[in-house]
Structure 1
């Protein structure tokens, strides 16, 4: 990085299908996910989208305001650019992404940040928008945190189309059990595969150390994942038909 510009936070403003919305969501959750309201994308009673409410507008404005302090062509950066071309190369000091970044900083040949990367849940906000009252609230407990549990659908599935054939059904479930089982699934979480830790057994730090990960690094990584999954105010993506049409 000698004689090269370095930056702070790396936004992903370029449209990237439905997935790009998640990265704006990570800017918005601390503003939009009130601890007294499980909904943050839609009004739960009317299904009216909340994407144009003051919380989301503030998140969008944050992105716009930060662009002058980011790389020159950041407006055309999609999430793959921010994670795998910029962050791994040391161009920026902070990126929000799925856990793939955590394994890639140690296993990707292009990474120069493997020894200097740490992890945490998403940043919090001093106030949070209350969609029910239309006001901004300052919580007595302090800043509002709301990890963005985005895209809860990457997995191993057995489809109903095999139900009519008992042999195919048995084979499909056997394959799913093998791929999602304790021993093989931790391997897919440790190495770049699109899977993050999702079983309790995946959070066994000695297993990761035995695979070659530094203990301090992997402790930070797994804690950020666990704290995000188990946070009482996590922003959960709704399982509803057509969600990507909304994004």
Structure 2
């Protein structure tokens, strides 16, 4: 993690260094790049937007703003760096960027806040983290600023992201810069050849994956895959819940898909979750593997899909924008749809797996319960709660500037960023996507899938309680890997997940975790 002063450069210096790497000797250019945590040949091609289109900004000369974000290379920090340079030019502020790897970012922020060091004025985080920071007063309440800021066009941001990921106890603490929801991606040409529609249930998903697995899907003479899913530390639990959500949550977002909100018992030791886990395990039998049971990353899975080697995959919106600029042989031969659902669900009163009816599944369609999953949720910008005066004004103004449509529209349509659509105008203005290079048919399917997911009353909120990563990554991921590698049975896995999550909840305080869970779902805890 590069937090040393030798690597603390202003955005202007960062961009100068980026330009210098075009002419300096390779060794020196790599040294400059290493200091910044970005590769010497990596940059965003569309690094600036038309400044004349932006709303006039106040003069922030004399203010220095320090921003902490993810280490470059994941598409998140690069557009922030570009926008920081634009904002410097508009306002006279000096912005210093500090970056940290994802696995160190959370603790670095927490340590800075706890010790009152205040190295960072703005921190870019996943929305789940705000619960840990807000409860101790570490983040600035931005509610009044948002309400009086016409430029940010707050009401244009999808209600789900505004209500669940930007707010805490009714107050705005985070400014959305990104929107994340999982979707189904499929080879439209293959489905047309088979005379079928995109899978509407997980059983249909398995049937198609099994049928296509082992066939040559891109005419290169090699056997390909029916289903490609990333199962890394960061993605494995979320891909499981992409399947499990439609079995576990039926009554709308506020019901939740992870715990019983009355008891804080995990929703895992039941026939519905066992069925979902069995489906998830079977998807792996139709997908790629690495030697030594290593897992493929999300980027490796995307590469396989775009090379035509996968019939189906589950992914965030990144895959759609990557296809826009790629030379993929299937660039115009795939589609996107809402995640498959399930005709059978958990009856929480009896604990049994039952067939959907209007009472248990009020939002079902033709007997299928859909529960699109807003996994991760998207990156947000937050402000240090200790800031005052002009520095506070500058910090908010910078986040507002990045989130405003003039900037964010470019971000979500640029394949080199990791940002996905989060404004309703970005989902309804299809012509902008077509002009940006997306096939008309794909644009319609891609935007419609995200739009339908975000507007589904049964959309699933990602787990957003203190130390959620311990539940999902430290506990759940290794158990899932044991299941996928046939080292433990499904029943053994269920018992391990249940007991380990219960133990962690008791360790952190069952009632405090229950209150946090209820708060995240915006329900009253009895």
Alignment TM-score, normalising by the size of structure 1: 0.88
Match of 2:420 in 1: 196
How many Å apart are 1:189 and its aligned residue?
0.7
- Alpha-carbon contact 1:7-1:70 (below 8 Å) kept: yes
How many Å apart are 1:159 and its aligned residue?
2.9
Cα pair distance change 1:123/1:82, threshold 3 Å: farther
Match of 1:240 in 2: 465
- Alpha-carbon contact 1:155-1:195 (below 8 Å) kept: no
Q: Deviations over 1:156-197 (max 9, x none)?
A: 332324x23x12111111111111001110111111322211
1:16-55 aligned at under 5 Å gives the runs 16-17=233-234, 19-35=235-251, 38-55=255-272
User: Does 1:185 find its partner at 2:401?
Assistant: no
* Alignment equivalent of 1:97, drawn from 274, 293, 315: 315
For 2:331, what is the secondary structure of its paired residue? coil
Distance 1:113 1:191 in 2: 19
Cα pair distance change 1:182/1:113, threshold 3 Å: same
Distance 1:113 1:136 in 2: 39
Match of 1:168 in 2: 391
Task: Considering fraction of residues, name the structure with more strand.
Answer: 2
User: Does 1:218 find its partner at 2:447?
Assistant: no
Number of positions where the alignment pairs a residue of Structure 1 with one of Structure 2: 242
Distance 2:311 2:355 in 1: 29
- Alpha-carbon contact 1:149-1:237 (below 8 Å) kept: yes
Match of 2:380 in 1: 155
For 1:151, what is the secondary structure of its paired residue? coil
* Alignment equivalent of 1:119, drawn from 332, 336, 347: 336
Greater Cα shift, 96-105 or 146-155 = 146-155
User: Does 1:129 find its partner at 2:354?
Assistant: no
Cα pair distance change 1:180/1:119, threshold 3 Å: same
Distance 2:282 2:451 in 1: 31
Greater Cα shift, 111-120 or 47-56 = 47-56
Distance 1:155 1:108 in 2: 27
Q: Larger radius of gyration, structure 1 or 2? A: 2
Distance 1:73 1:81 in 2: 14
RMSD value, Cα: 2.1
Structure 1: tracts of 5 or more residues without a match: none
For 1:25, what is the secondary structure of its paired residue? helix
Distance 2:419 2:313 in 1: 18
Distance 1:23 1:67 in 2: 11
Q: Deviations over 1:49-97 (max 9, x none)?
A: 2234322222221232333332354953344155323212221111111
Cα pair distance change 1:30/1:173, threshold 3 Å: same
* Alignment equivalent of 2:282, drawn from 65, 71, 84: 65
Distance 1:175 1:41 in 2: 35
- Alpha-carbon contact 2:270-2:352 (below 8 Å) kept: no
Distance 2:372 2:460 in 1: 6
For 1:118, what is the secondary structure of its paired residue? strand
Q: Deviations over 1:92-127 (max 9, x none)?
A: 111111111111122245x33211110000011121
- Alpha-carbon contact 2:339-2:371 (below 8 Å) kept: yes
For 2:285, what is the secondary structure of its paired residue? helix
Greater Cα shift, 221-230 or 28-37 = 28-37
For 2:353, what is the secondary structure of its paired residue? strand
Cα pair distance change 1:241/1:72, threshold 3 Å: closer
How many Å apart are 1:200 and its aligned residue?
1.6
Cα pair distance change 1:227/1:79, threshold 3 Å: farther
